[in-house]
Amino acid sequence: MSTSTLLLVVAVVLEAVGLAVLLGLWLGSRRRVRFLRAKVAALRGERRPPRRLVPRPDEVVKAVWETAALVREKGFGGALRSSVEELAGWAQVERPDLVRMAGADGTVAILFSDIEGSTALNDQLGDKAFVRLLARHDQLVRDRVARHGGHVVKTQGDGFMVAFPTAEAAVRCAASIQRALDRGRLRGRTPVAVRIGVHQGDVVHRDNDIFGRNVAHAARVAALAEGGEVLVSGPVADALADLDDVVLDQPRAVELKGLAGEHLVAAVDWSLA
């Protein structure tokens, strides 16, 4: 081997060793920096932030903004499928624990609601005003649910799925929501047409899927309601029969998608309930 070749080999080896040393120093320095940062945080008493149960305002705005975009993109039909329909589908798959909310007779009243005509409303108001309107709607519904002893099981877009121990509590809550929206219209606020459906059923015996059918039943009733209407199923109407201050229109027989046979529904005069 010539002298020049030997010198070249030595140079290459030394360069490789130098690169390895530099890489080791760089990795070591990174580990040292992470260690020192962790130590400084410990000395300052910093801890990992706890899990937040309540979202930050910016997160709420982001979620509402995404809802507005969804409504604008998919239109009214898409908005329905993304609220009431998706809530019902989620409930049947995830099986939320509604048993603990059941009344003494082993039944629970399920309320579904959403905003009718969201696409046109969004176009009319613009995105920013529509976001503010959705935020007010959300707060109004949650406030009335809390007042009447209900539990918000889940929300999706502008839709709510709420559980109550009795049909009376669910219907009085629904009536309260509609009256509050009506007062807002009288004060000059932008009209918001919310449709609400209520059904009551057994949620204890799950093996034969009674739970799933009753959730679907409530969602179908809500889908039949018009904006500004509270529509209840036959079992709810029966549960309200002895209440003098809850007035129902004449029940009518309807077909409910996915449920065999005909079913009774009736509209509530929410100005009295």
Least confident of 75-84, 154-163, 172-181: 75-84
- Identify any residues that bridge with 161 across adjacent strands, giving them in sequence order: 112, 154
The domain ranges of the chain are: 1-40, 78-268
In angstroms and rounded to an integer, the radius of gyration of the C-alpha atoms of the chain is 29
Q: What number of other Cβ atoms are within 10 A of residue 224's Cβ?
A: 18
Stretch 216-232: mean pLDDT: 92
> What secondary structure does DSSP assign to 71-94, as a single string?
HHHHHHHHHHIIIIIHHHHHHHHH
Stretch 227-253: mean pLDDT: 93
- pLDDT, residue 17, reads 55
pLDDT tens across 117-126, in order? 877 788 888 8
- pLDDT, residue 177, reads 96
Structure tokens at 61: 């705005």
- pLDDT, residue 71, reads 42
- The one-character DSSP state at 99 is G
Query: Distance (Å, rounded) from C-alpha 37 to C-alpha 181?
Result: 53
pLDDT, greater one: 52 or 240:
240
- pLDDT, residue 2, reads 66
pLDDT at 203 over 80: no
Q: What number of other Cβ atoms are within 10 A of residue 221's Cβ?
A: 28
Average pLDDT, the chain: 75
Question: Whole-prediction pTM value?
Answer: 0.65
Residue with tokens 């509050």, as numbered in its chain = 180
CATH of 78-268, one of 3.30.70.1230, 3.30.2020.10, 3.40.50.300, 3.40.605.10: 3.30.70.1230
- Identify any residues that bridge with 166 across adjacent strands, giving them in sequence order: none
- pLDDT, residue 197, reads 96
pLDDT, greater one: 104 or 22:
104
pLDDT at 92 over 50: yes
> Which of 224, 222, 227 shows the shortest CA–CA distance to 178?
227
